[in-house]
Each structure stands twice: as C-alpha cells, then as structure tokens.
Amino acid sequence: MDWTHDTLVAVSKSWGLFYLIGLSIAVLIYALWPSNRARFDDAKTSILTEDDTPEQP
C-alpha cells in the first residue's frame, strides 16, 4: 500500500477515534473493576505507614 498523506488522514480521522474510545473504555474498566479496589486502597494508604528502611527479602 502506498503510504501517502491521504492515507494518514484517513487513518487518523477514522481509526484514531475508535482507538482512543477503546482506550478510554479499557482504562475505565481497569480503574473501576471491583476486585481492583483492595489493591488501590492498599496502595493509597501504604505510602503513609512506611518506615524508613527497605523491606528485607
């Protein structure tokens, strides 16, 4: 296929839209997925409780 300016315009104007809509949906699903709530809550509070040495393996 010849990769011309018109091809680029066509791709941007059609698939670009669906790609970004798809991405938004994926992000919303990931952020709002119920089973992710526990790890998000844990991450959000855990930075406040840390002490000042790394965890030993």
Partner 1 sequence: MIAQLSVAERQLALVVLGLLALAGLAMTVAGAVNGDLIAVHGLIVLVFAAVLMFVVGQGYYAPEPSPARLAQYYDDPTKVGIVLAMIWAVIGMFVGVWVAALLAWPELTFVDQAWASFGRIRPVHTSGVIFGFGGNALIATSYHVVQRTSRARLPGQFSPWFVLLGFNLFCILAASGYLMGITQNKEYAEPEWYADIWLTIVWVAYFVLFLRTLQRRKEPHIYVANWYYIAFIVVVAVLHIVNNLALPASMGEYKSYSLFSGVQDAMVQWWYGHNAVAFFLTAGFLGMMYYYLPKRAERPIFSYRLSIISFWGITFLYMWAGSHHLHYTALPQWVQTLGMTFSVVLLVPSWASAGNALATLNGAWTKVRDDATLRFMMVAAVFYGLSTFEGSFMAIRAVNSLSHYTDWTVGHVHAGALGWVAMITFGSFYALVPWMWKQSRMYSPKLVEVHFWLALIGTVIYVFAMWNSGILQGLMWRTYGESGGLAYSFMQSVEAMHPYYIARMIGGLCFLLGAIVGFYNIIMTIRMSRQGTQPDARDVPTARADQVLVAGE
| Binding interface with partner 1 (CB under 8 A) | 5, 9, 12-13, 20, 23-24, 27-28, 30-32, 39-48, 50-57
When the beta carbons of 2 and 42 are compared against partner 1, the nearer one is 42
Structure tokens at 5: 């300016």
Query: Closest approach of Cβ 15 to partner 1, in Å?
Result: 14
- Whether residue 12 contacts residue 20, with contact meaning beta carbons closer than 8 Å, is answered with no
Query: Closest approach of Cβ 2 to partner 1, in Å?
Result: 18
